[in-house]
């Protein structure tokens, strides 16, 4: 297998949004494939028609594309092993199930739901494992033909041989062993003619030449059934790797009850894709060092399944926020500009008229002070409108007896400037403070309050330079009139 092209797949069901755990599964498949110069395949497992959600396939594709996980083969990509929608592969499954029936590895089951319910209740009372009792395995060929001709509702089940040990090697967990006595005769073809996940999954993985099956640990208990199907068909098994669970901080399984679990939620909240991918990659994997900041290329170069942990991974939102800030600071200003303009178009300042140069000055001044693009608006609305009111606590603390006099003098001096630079404002402010024999803060604090209405923000000289001389003079005059 080492000489073969590495081929992995992400095979979600179109049942709604993309779970954050699903994104991690897709990411680990993608990183592994790219690290090995292999192929990342997207297959849509849409055979459960009761759970199918209209539009979910397009949503999955757009979310994966947003995250940068473009498939080499898939529903909207080229590929030699399609179709990549299971609902379009029914003839393939029908062809393969016939072989299993002929070989005695699968059989028709005509049991009614009432009989199955009675059987399950009886087994529960006897405190034994609830599983099918192979009742229909003993039907004669004539009985089966008669029932099929009568169109008696039926399913097709996997024939599990008793008293067998089933084992497989897991790249993350080592050798895993199950007794066949604990495994139910799994339904392979449902009464509606559609295959179950277990059957379609194995047939497709084989026909699509999947070399490594990388998925969540919740599928470990199903893997023996899949292994048996490979053996029954006399097919080479892929290598398996089962990823650890994602956990809430209280160690419970990550669920919607305790927070957002849909990738779309994090997109809407303004998380950068690079930050989310970086964060998700570290949920269960590390490169063996203390490095936490990664670009996609760095993840591809460093990733290996051997360094995926067995233990569950804690979903720490604070760490995601920190990573978002780090990635935002590493983003070129021209790219932030595009995102900021989009945020402005969705905000109360959608009609705000300004140049790209103006926004780029804001971006540079606030870059170390924001964690999300939207905070360029939320944390400094004074760049988009004059302050309507002034923070009372800051007024009480920073507006001194001489604040009015100092601001009037400062205002009169900057009024004389022509096309002032940031250094000109700094020179005038420092000179005035020297003349009055006061610390710089004595003027800086009331000046900031006059210009922004608050007590924190970017450097004061950045603030006044970005607003410009005329706007700054207006705001100082207004503050002198309103703050007493």
Between CA 38 and CA 41 the distance in angstroms is 10
Catalytic residue among 98, 122, 124, 256: 256
Cα atoms in the Cβ-side hemisphere of radius 13 Å centred on 322: 8
Q: Which residues contact 377 (CB under 8 A, 6 or more apart)?
A: 340, 343, 344, 347, 349, 384
- Name the packing angle between helices 403-414 and 469-482 (round to 10°): 160
Task: Tell me the torsion sign for CA atoms 200, 202, 205, 207.
Answer: negative
What whole-number distance in Å separates Cα of residue 82 and Cα of residue 89?
8
Helix 460-467 crosses helix 469-482 at what angle (to 10 degrees)? 110
Q: What is the CA radius of gyration of the chain?
A: 32
- Locate the DSSP E strands across 255-394: 313-314
Six-digit token pair at 336? 């932030």
In this structure, the strands spanning 239-243 and 7-10 are unpaired
d(C-alpha 465, C-alpha 419), whole Å: 10
- Ramachandran sector of residue 80 (left: φ over 0; alpha: ψ -120 to 50; beta: rest): alpha
Give yes or no for a contact between 429 and 409, defined as CB atoms under 8 angstroms apart: no
Q: What is the DSSP string of 83-122?
A: --BGGG-HHHHHHHHHHHHHTTSEEEE---HHHHHHHHHH
Residue 241, C-beta contacts closer than 8 angstroms, at least 6 positions apart: 170, 171, 172, 212, 213, 214, 215, 305, 308
Q: Is 256 a catalytic residue?
A: yes
For the annotated catalytic residues, the residue numbers are 256
């Amino acid at each position: 297998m080492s000489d073969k092209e590495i081929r992995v797949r992400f095979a979600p069901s179109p049942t709604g949004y993309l779970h954050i755990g699903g994104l991690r599964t897709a990411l680990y498949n993608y990183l592994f494939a790219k690290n090995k110069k292999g192929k990342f395949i997207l297959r849509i497992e849409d055979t459960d028609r009761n759970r199918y959600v209209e539009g979910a396939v397009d949503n999955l594709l757009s979310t994966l594309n947003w995250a940068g996980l473009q498939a080499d083969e898939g529903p909207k990509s080229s590929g030699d092993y399609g179709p990549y929608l299971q609902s379009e592969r029914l003839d393939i499954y029908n062809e393969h199930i016939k072989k299993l029936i002929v070989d005695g590895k699968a059989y028709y089951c005509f049991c009614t739901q009432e009989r199955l319910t009675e059987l399950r209740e009886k087994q529960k009372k006897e405190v034994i494992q609830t599983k099918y009792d192979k009742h229909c395995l003993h039907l004669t060929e004539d009985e089966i033909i008669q029932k099929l001709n009568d169109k008696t509702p039926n399913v097709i089940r996997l024939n599990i041989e008793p008293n067998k040990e089933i084992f497989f090697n897991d790249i993350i967990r080592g050798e895993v062993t199950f007794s066949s006595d604990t495994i139910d005769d799994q339904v392979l073809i449902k009464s509606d003619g559609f295959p179950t996940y277990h059957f379609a999954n194995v047939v497709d993985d084989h026909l699509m030449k999947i070399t490594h099956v990388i998925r969540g640990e919740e599928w470990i208990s199903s893997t023996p059934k899949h292994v048996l199907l490979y053996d029954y068909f006399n097919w080479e098994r892929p290598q398996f790797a089962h990823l650890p669970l994602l956990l809430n901080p209280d160690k419970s399984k990550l669920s919607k009850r305790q927070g957002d679990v849909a990738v779309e939620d994090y997109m809407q909240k303004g998380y950068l894709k690079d930050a989310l991918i970086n964060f998700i990659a570290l949920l269960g994997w590390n490169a063996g060092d203390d490095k936490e900041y990664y670009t996609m290329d760095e993840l591809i170069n460093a990733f290996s399944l051997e360094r995926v942990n067995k233990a569950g991974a804690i979903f720490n939102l604070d760490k995601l926020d920190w990573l978002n800030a780090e990635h935002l600071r590493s983003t070129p200003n021209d790219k932030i500009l595009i995102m900021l303009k989009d945020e402005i178009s969705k905000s109360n300042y959608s009609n705000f008229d300004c140049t790209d140069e103006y926004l780029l000055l804001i971006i540079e001044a606030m870059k170390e002070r924001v964690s999300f693009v939207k905070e360029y608006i939320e944390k400094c609305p004074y760049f988009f409108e004059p302050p309507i009111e002034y923070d009372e606590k800051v007024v009480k603390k920073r507006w001194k007896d001489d604040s009015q006099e100092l601001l009037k003098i400062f205002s009169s001096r900057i009024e004389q400037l022509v096309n002032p630079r940031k250094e000109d404002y700094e020179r005038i402010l420092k000179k005035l403070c020297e003349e009055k024999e006061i610390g710089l803060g004595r003027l800086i604090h009331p000046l900031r309050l006059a210009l922004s209405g608050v007590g924190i923000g970017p450097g004061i000289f950045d603030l006044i330079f970005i607003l410009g001389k005329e706007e700054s003079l207006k705001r100082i005059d207004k503050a002198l009139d309103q703050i007493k």
